[in-house]
Structure 1
């Protein structure tokens, strides 16, 4: 699994609270960083970033997180915790695809699908729902992403048949990898009233300017630029293209130098590493 790709969830004043909540909810989970604005927590070699950035956006279930549970007891523990003060979207029950499965939205508005299935290669899997203007585009999107990223593949696609619960040919469930990081996808013809937005984004940590330029230029060629390394791709999914060097400079214990780097980054669309280095080195 590639640990340089991970989801980021937008919060409004409750990021630190949510980080502690998830660390207490999931087995062997822990908060690894909390600056107030940025919180990260990890479990089972998976990383989540929580961005406490105000009321502009909030997560919705166009991107949910599949949790692959080893035992029914594990699944029941997570369900009891996450469903408290949350909202049930699909009741916890036996389904054709799993002996035990349920879908819920927790108290922070983050959606989780709990699935009983031992031996999964990745514990937490971002799951993309292609609905509304994107309905029917799941296969197209998977083919696109697996072209953009190296070490990528589509690992399985199950489609709706005639008489099924959705449009025949739409994807009921699929999984794919981008640079060895697993995601899942589905189509939905229902009017859910949600779309991909900045409420949940995907961070790609890049090794150098060449890799940063590649992802930025590829995605924005049919998408939309934003600020501070953020962009939207052709489907409206938000990505943060973040050079590893930016993270290193901003973590410097010299707060004056780190502050100059932050100020330089805030003025950028695509991140330019040389300009960050120049800001860092200012006398």
Structure 2
């Protein structure tokens, strides 16, 4: 069976992001983690490849040992649909801490409450309450 999943590549922050997202987004959990061992390409103990379910969506995580001239972009984002204003406000607050708000929480006509932000890792999130 062919599958597809978002793949988030970090430079030393994959574990922190993985833990943060699973704590912040309801119904999220770490599925598995494979770490670099002694003598492998990446720093020992860092994440070679991890998988998590973020609100039911499989997302892959990795720490690149190669430095890149690029990072995340808002043109690709994770879209979260919330079930209550309280849940949405908490998620926006926690993900937004240390990040950058692109569209503050408001009614934009296409949704009664919507926010778009880049978190402290640079990952873009759209948080919606239909």
Show the 5 A alignment for 1:185-196. 185-196=61-72
Q: Does 1:242 align with 2:128?
A: yes
Greater relative contact order: 1 or 2 (C-alpha under 8 angstroms, separation 6 or more)? Answer: 2
Structure 2: gaps spanning 5 or more residues: 105-114
Higher Cα Rg, which structure: 1
Aligned to 2:27: 151
CA contact (8 A) 2:6 2:59 kept: yes
Q: CA RMSD in A?
A: 1.6
Partner of 1:127: 7
Once the two structures are superposed, residues 34-57 of structure 1 have per-residue CA deviations (whole angstroms, 9 ceiling, x without a partner) of xxxxxxxxxxxxxxxxxxxxxxxx
Matched, 1:232 2:123: no
1:128 to partner: Cα distance = 0.5
Structural mapping, 1:79-98, within 5 Å:
none
Q: How many aligned residue pairs are there?
A: 120
8 Å CA contact retained: 2:116, 2:125 = yes
Given that residues 170 and 188 in structure 1 are in contact (C-alpha distance below 8 angstroms), is that contact kept between their aligned partners in structure 2?
no
Q: 1:177 aligns with which of 42, 53, 60?
A: 53
| TM-score, length of structure 2 as denominator length | 0.82
Gaps (5+ residues) in structure 1?
1-67, 70-122, 245-283
Report the TM-score when normalising by structure 1. 0.40
Q: Is the 8 A contact 1:204 1:239 kept in 2?
A: yes
